[in-house]
Structure formats: structure tokens, C-alpha cells
Structure 1
Amino acid sequence: MENFKIPMRARLLANENPFGPSPKAQKAIMESISQGNRYGHSDAQYLIEMIAEKEGVKPANIMLGPGSTDLLEKTAIALCRHGGNVISADPSYLSLVNTAKAVGANWKAVPLTADQSHDLTSIAQAIDSNTKLVYICNPNNPMGSVTDFEAVKTFCKANATKAPIFVDEAYLEFLDNPQEKSAVNLVAEGHDVIVARTFSKIHGMAGLRIGYMVATEERVKSVSDMVRSTMGLCITSLKGAIASFQDEGFIAECRALNKASREFTSEQIHQLGYQEIPSHTSFMIFPIRSKAETFSKTMVEQGVGIRMYAIDNKPWCRVSMGTMEEMNYFIEALKITEG
């Protein structure tokens, strides 16, 4: 938890984009406030059509939600409410897993490989007649690692007939040529694959809550029959997302700025004797030498927010990429904390 009594010099704990929303999105949001007395159903449909064109699918293959986490959880409820099991890597992002467990499913956790990628062979072997959902987070949170994208596509083609496969691509757009690496084309080919994207990360709209998933029409219907998709979205978020979706220059700039911060931080922590998991995202994670509680407390006292994880019974620090000024704050705080 954040200590709100201490001024936050560097908020590096939630994988937020420090450079967003884009100026075009901000303008669209401000102009839409006067329309706040109206529902945004028509704007939602417009955004759905834009997304469908980009992803090469039909509008019926798109479902919007307030962030991709909302869609992960809704899918878990829809598919796992009668029990069964869900399979994912460990460590990974656990919102879908935790929701599935809460509604009665079991979790089959498959350890990552030595290079921190998904063990696709072991995941395939774990699928059984009670598997309701397979979850792959690629790039993976909290590790920042990627699993070979062609290998993921091959895995999906071979196993989507056994159980639906959810590929979470929240951080994909921090990579160069992200569309070439996406599994979304498998949906157009008819495979039972669900792909999630979000406006919370590179688009810088985490607090505005909007994301989408791409799936077969049948799979979208199985979720949307239980919950109303666009009813949870406000017109400001929709207008902002529409503007940001078209602002390719802003996205490219954020990708470059994030990479610069990541390379600077990597170089600096290496000089301090740390070694991170090579990251392809807007964060990095590395093992620390001191106790987690002491480390976190000391960092917060210096106004730097980070996230702590216990991996293999050892403390790890996950730090989000901020501005260059914020990353300098982080390095100076790290020197004091572990010095």
C-alpha cells in the first residue's frame, strides 16, 4: 500500500505510462464532458468497428470492458463458474486465476522455464477434460519476459480444440512491430483463442478504464450473455480511446521513451551489482539482497513506490518505467536502501 503521508517523487508501482494520455485523447475527453448526460453506446460501437478493422476481424468478435483485467475476470466467471480447472504459468498475472478460483475452479500452475518463458509443452500436458481455460500472459507480468510468439501461435492451434486459450497482450505494444507478434489472427482463422488488449498501458489511460478482447463470436456471446459489455464504459473514456487509437505518433514516442528509461535503469542497476530478468515491457524485476519489508519501507520513505514479489522464497523488486527523472530518483533511492 502507498503511504499517502509521504510525497511521492516517483510512482513506479503500477506499470502506468507517465507520458499519457495523449494530447489528442485529453482534448477529446475534455470536449466530451458536456455529453456526460448521454450514454456512450454509439461511441462504443464506433470504437468496436475501428478495433475490428485493425485486428482483421468482425465487430461481433470484439468485446469492450473497463480495462482488460475486467475482461479477464468476466471470462473466468463465464467459463469457470461450474468448476473445472484453469491452467497458467507461475509467476504470472493472477487476476483471471484468482477469479476462477473464487467461483469454484482449481488452478494448475506450471512453472516458467529457465529463461522465464512459458513452458508450453508442460501446459499442453496439463490440459485435461476438466480444463475450462488456459491463460498465457505474453509479454508476462511480473517477469517482463516473452515467450516466442510463433511458438505461442503453434501451441494455440494445436490445443484450442481442447480448451479455450486466453492470450493476454496488455504489454505487447511496447515491442517493435507488435501486430506481427499478436495471436489475434488466430481468431479470424476460427480458433477458440481470446486475445486481450488494454488502453491502460502504452495509451496512458489506466485511470480511465477501457480495454477490449477479441474472440470468436460464440465466445464473445458466452461472456456478453452474462454481463453487459459497454454499459460499464463512460463517454469520456470512449472518446479518449477513439482519439488515442488513432494517435500512432504518440504511441511510437511512448515506446521509445519507455525503452530509453528501461535501458538506463538496466545499466544503472548492473553497476550496483543487480541482474534483472531481461524485460520487453514497461517494467523490470530483479532479486534484492535485503528483506522485502525493509526494502519497501525504505524506498517509500524516500518517495519511491515499487512492487515487491516473493519468487522461489526470495524477495524481488518490480519497478515500473517512469520518466528519466523518476528513474534517477529510483536509482538514488536504491543506492541508499541497499547500500
Structure 2
Amino acid sequence: MKSTNISRREWLKKGTLTLGALALVPHDIWSSNVIAAQKEGRTFLYNSNNFFNEFTPPVVKEEKALTILRSNENPYGPPPKSAKAFQDEVFKGNRYAWKTLRELKEKIAENEGIHTNQILMGPGSSDLLEKVAMVFFQEGGNVISADPSYMSLIVVAKSVGGQWKSYKLLEDSQHDLDAMEAGIDENTKLVYICNPNNPTGSITDAKKLKDFCSRVSEKVPVFVDEAYLELSDNGLRDSMNTLVAEGKNVIVARTFSKIHGMAGLRIGYAIGKKETLDIISEITRGGMGITGPSIAAAATSLNNQDFLDSCKTKIADARAYTMKYLNKKNFSYLPSETNFIIFEIPMEVKEFLKQIYAKNVAVKSFKFWDKNWCRVSIGTMDEMKLFTKAMTEIFA
């Protein structure tokens, strides 16, 4: 991708997204879509997507009463030491946090084996996915990804004039890397891979993926979204970060929203070639959207591996409990190495969502492969028991 001299102001005028939309964080965009779809009585949140869509949840009067199992959050975080660091940093809130941000980037660079100029910070990894989409697809082109996959980058790419070329996952739910590579053409601007994949929870073989990324990145940039990788069996041992260190045109995104338990604190980062990240930074600056307290909490969490390991163990135990229940009740689900499970629903989805929300349990439902699915996030063991109790009552 070639650099451009277009200014931020000119780019915002040129793009089809409004300033108001750009100001929204991913959760705000999701919430806005939900409210609009509920008012219009729509079955799906995204009318323009024929391949993969999310069912509109029912209107709920007492949202605070719900057991929230729909956003793949860590129910145990943030680490207590990170919460303390956040609180302490609030009293320095009158100052810009450039120094602490630089220190965090230095710590990240050391962990990832790269230089600080190969890091782009942002308020969560979804923010960075969306910014990449805005920059890469301002003049059209196509993005290649799995079907289904996390839609944040895809939706924004389409909204600014890009096209989506999707390739169905293999029977074992891994990415069809051969088909995706064969699909690259002269209009392909980016290959996007979410690994582990959302919403399926499945993971693609690390060696095959590394070979793919190494080879394909010589043709087009490859964006690997590793938001859930730390929750997988092998964890960061399966990361594509070594390719970045080798100088490959690979972007790897991480977030503090999942295993670190900081979804509400909004912090994440992407690593990649300096030249590629500079193109993105010409248009939009990631660090401006992060607060000093969030930076302090993230930096502290990187030194709390024992807490993170404890979270991973408890999530894995609750996931195993949920899978055992689904097996017992003959629900067909996809393999997961994340903090969520997706399974087929043998009921009309609108009625299913109505009933499970009525039991104060909030989940998500999707349509893909001509099937209806429920995705449940893994909460505490007590929360998962509330979920299985509700399921038993619904499907008695």
C-alpha cells in the first residue's frame, strides 16, 4: 500500500463515515445498531450482510439485572494491582500521559521482540482494526477473511467502499488458508485472520498459519487478530509476532479487554512494519484515545502473570463444564479454545432470545452457513450454572 499525503480533515470529508460514527467505540457502535434494529423491528442487526449476521436481541427493561454472557469479557479482572494502579493514576489526570504511554510501549516492545516504532496503540484492538479498514479501503479494494469471522474490520471496510471476499471455514473450523490464498487478486488490499476466530472460538494450526502469513505477506499485508490467543491452550507461543520481528508485512493485534479483564478501560495495540503503521498514523493517531489510568493498569497487568494464569484456568474449567452440559443435552457446538462457545439452536431464534433474556441471561445469536447459532461467553462457574439452568428450562 502506498503512502498518501491526504490530510486527516480531507480524509474525513472524503470517507463515507461521519465524524459522529468515528467517535464511537466498538461497543457504542454495537449498542447503536441494537437500538436502531429494535426500534425498526429488524430480525438482524446488519441489513447489508447476506453471508453472516447477528440476530437483534429483545428489548429489556432492566438491563442491570441480566447475567451478561454476550461480550466475551473476563469475569475475574482486572487484576487488583491494576485496579490500584488505575486509581492512583487518576490523581495525575490533569497531565497528558505521553511519558507513561512511552514506557508501556517500551515494555510491549521488549515482550514482543520488536522496536517501539513498530507499535500502534489504541483504545482496544477493535479500534485499531477499524482504523486499518478506514485507511486501507478509502479507495476501494477487497479484504479476504474467513466465513464467519469478527466483523468489525469488515463492516468498516465495506462502509468506506471496500468489498468482502469470504471463505468458509474447513470442517474442523480452521481457516481455509489454501482457498484464501487462491482468492487474492489485483484488488486485494488486505487478508484478515482472526485467530482464535470469533465467533466460532476455533484456532488454526500455528505452523500452517505462520507459513501462510510469511508467504502471503510478500503479496499483500496480512492482519492477524490475536485478541483471544492468550486464552488458547498454547497461548502466545502460537503468536505470529515473530514474523513482525523478521520484517514481514504482517500486523498483529492484541487487546487488554480479554484475559487482562479491561474491556471497559479500552486499551490495545497492534505491531507491524514501521512503514505500514506510519501510513495508518498519517491519518489517525491511536494513542490520543487512551487515558493515563488505563495505561497504568495495562502496564501493571503485564507484570501479573500469576493472576492471568489463574483466570485462564478458571475460564477453562467453566468452559469444560459448559461443553459437558452441551454434550449431555445433544447440542452441536464448535471446538473452542477461547472464553466463549457457539452452538446450534434447535428453535426459532427470536423466540429463543426472548425466553433466555426473560430468564435474565444475555447471550448472542448469529446466522451463518444457513444455520442459527447461540454464542455464550464463559463467565464464572456460578454464572454458567445459571445459563445451563435457563437452557434446561427452555428446552425441557
TM-score (norm 2): 0.84
Q: How many pairs are equivalent?
A: 339
Aligned-partner SS, 2:208: helix
Offset at residue 6 of structure 1 (A): 5.5
1: CA distance, partners of 2:89 / 2:209: 40
Code of the aligned partner of 1:249 = D
Q: Does the 8 Å CA contact 2:190/2:222 hold for their aligned counterparts?
A: yes
* Residue in 1 that maps onto 2:265: 208
Structure 1 residue 236: Cα displacement: 1.1
Output the CA distance in 2 between the equivalents of 1:336 and 1:138.
Answer: 34
Query: Pick from 343, 367, 379: which aligns with 1:310?
Result: 367
Cα pair 1:298 1:337 within 8 Å, conserved: yes
Matched, 1:105 2:140: no
Which of 237, 240, 252 in structure 1 is aligned with 2:297?
240
Corresponding residue number in structure 2 for 1:145: 202
1:39 aligns with 2:93: no
- Kindly report which structure 2 residues correspond to 1:78-89, keeping only aligned pairs within 5 A, or say none: 78-89=135-146
The equivalent residue for 2:16 is: none
* Offset at residue 311 of structure 1 (A): 1.9
How far 1:312 moved relative to its partner? 2.0
| Within-5 A mapping of 1:186-201 | 186-201=243-258
Secondary structure of the residue aligned to 2:299 is helix
- The residue correspondences of 1:218-297 to structure 2 (distance < 5 A) are 218-297=275-354
Aligned to 1:169: 226
Match of 1:121 in 2: 178
Find the counterpart in structure 1 of residue 126 from structure 2.
69
Deviation of residue 5 (structure 1)?
A: 1.8
**Which residue does the alignment assign to 2:15?**
none
Judged with a 3 Å threshold, the aligned counterparts in structure 2 of structure 1 residues 289 and 120 are, in CA distance, closer, same or farther, namely same
Q: CA deviation at 1:9?
A: 4.7
In 2, distance between residues paired with 1:215 and 1:333?
44
Unaligned runs of 5+ in 1: none
Q: 1:178 aligns with which of 220, 231, 235?
A: 235
Q: Give the corresponding residue for 2:83.
A: 26
1:267/1:83 Cα in 2 relative to 1: closer, same or farther (>3 Å)? Answer: same
SS at match of 1:110: strand
Deviation for aligned residue 1:180? 1.5
Secondary structure of 1:318 counterpart: strand
Q: For 1:325, which of 382, 385, 389 is the aligned residue?
A: 382
Distance of 2:219 and 2:182 partners within structure 1: 11
Cα offset, 1:204, TM superposition: 0.4
Deviation at 1:176, TM superposition (A): 3.5
Q: Distance in 2 between matches of 1:299 and 1:249?
A: 35
Aligned partners of 1:169 and 1:196 also within 8 Å: yes
Aligned to 1:131: 188
Residue 7 of structure 1, CA deviation:
5.3
1:300 aligns with 2:353: no
Residue type of the partner of 1:337? I
Give the CA deviation at 1:246.
1.1
- The SS at the match of 1:71 is helix
Alpha-carbon offset, residue 278 of structure 1: 1.2
Query: Which residue number in structure 1 is paired with residue 105 of structure 2?
Result: 48
**Structure 1 position 271, deviation (Å):** 1.2
Q: Distance in 2 between matches of 1:91 and 1:147?
A: 14
Say if 2:210 is the partner of 1:156.
no
Aligned-residue sequence identity (percent) comes to 45
Q: Structure 1 residue 4: deviation in Å? A: 4.2
Q: State the one-letter code of the partner of 2:137.
A: C
The within-5 A match list for 1:2-21 is 3-5=60-62, 8-21=65-78
What letter matches 2:253 in structure 1? A
Question: For the Cα contact (< 8 Å) 1:66–1:232, is it kept in 2?
Answer: yes
Within 2, Cα distance between the matches of 1:230 and 1:161? Answer: 29
1:7–1:303 contact (8 Å) kept in structure 2: no
Contact 2:128 2:286 in 1 (8 A): no
